[in-house]
Structure 1
Amino acid sequence: MRYMRYMLLDDYMPSKHMPLDRLASLLRNATIPYVPLEHMLLAWLLVFDYLFPFFLFPFFFSLF
């Protein structure tokens, strides 16, 4: 009953700590199918395209 009372009061006083099921429902409703996957793949590709040589450069420098 206490959780239901907080759920009813949540429209007037949103709590600082959001319950996990409400956070999951927000994330589920905010998900656009297929576009974020493509965006994440592009971001991953860009990050590894630009940062991977900088991470490998000290390794190659230590070989010689």
Structure 2
Amino acid sequence: MTEQQITKPWFKQLWPWLLISGPAVAMIGCIITIYLAINYQADKPLRDGVVKRGLKVEQQIKDVQVQK
């Protein structure tokens, strides 16, 4: 070999960025999912004694003491 091949540094080549992009996109999606799960909780009370879980609305029965 009389001529040496000039190689580019790794950060100027395409294949490392293609390999890094998959896990990077997955991490960004995971961070967004965790943020939404923490800030937008689905089981908030609608009014006193009623809770919506998914599409189901349930009424919670509280122990009421009757005085005579």
Q: Same fold (TM over 0.5)?
A: no
Higher helix share: 1
TM-score range, shorter chain: 0.3 to 0.5
Query: Given the two structures, how large is their TM-score scaled by the length of structure 1?
Result: 0.38
Larger relative contact order (C-alpha < 8 A, sep ≥ 6)? 2
Higher strand share: 2
Greater CA radius of gyration, 1 or 2? 2
Query: Given the two structures, how large is their TM-score scaled by the length of structure 2?
Result: 0.36
